[in-house]
């Protein structure tokens, strides 16, 4: 497990900062955690789960779980 900073999340999911925070505020994207002071990061496995769920929702089928 590792923390991802915003730039890594943007690159991984293909969304911009505004879209990510909009989805977070709508409870449709994993919330970041405070790692130190005002610095936030996302948990990589939560981002992977979100991506797999998007694929499953789009295709209407189950996507295999990724185990870490």
> Is 43 in contact with 30 (CB distance < 8 Å)?
yes
**Angstrom distance (rounded) from CA 60 to CA 18:** 27
Q: How confident is the model at residue 18 (pLDDT cuts 50, 70, 90)?
A: very high
- DSSP for residue 16: -
Indicate the helix (H) or strand (E) that contains 44: helix 44-59
Predicted TM-score (pTM) of this structure: 0.84
pLDDT for residue 65 is more than 90: no
pLDDT single digits (tens) 28-61: 999 999 999 999 999 999 999 999 999 988 888 7
- Helices (H) then strands (E): counts for the chain: 3, 3
pLDDT at position 67 is 60
């Amino acid at each position: 497990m590792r923390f991802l900073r915003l730039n890594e999340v943007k690159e991984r999911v293909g969304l911009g900062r505004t879209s990510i925070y909009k989805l977070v505020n709508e409870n449709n994207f994993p919330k970041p955690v405070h790692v130190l002071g005002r610095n936030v990061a996302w948990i990589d496995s939560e981002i992977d789960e979100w991506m797999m769920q998007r694929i499953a929702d789009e295709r209407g089928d189950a996507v295999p779980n990724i185990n870490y």
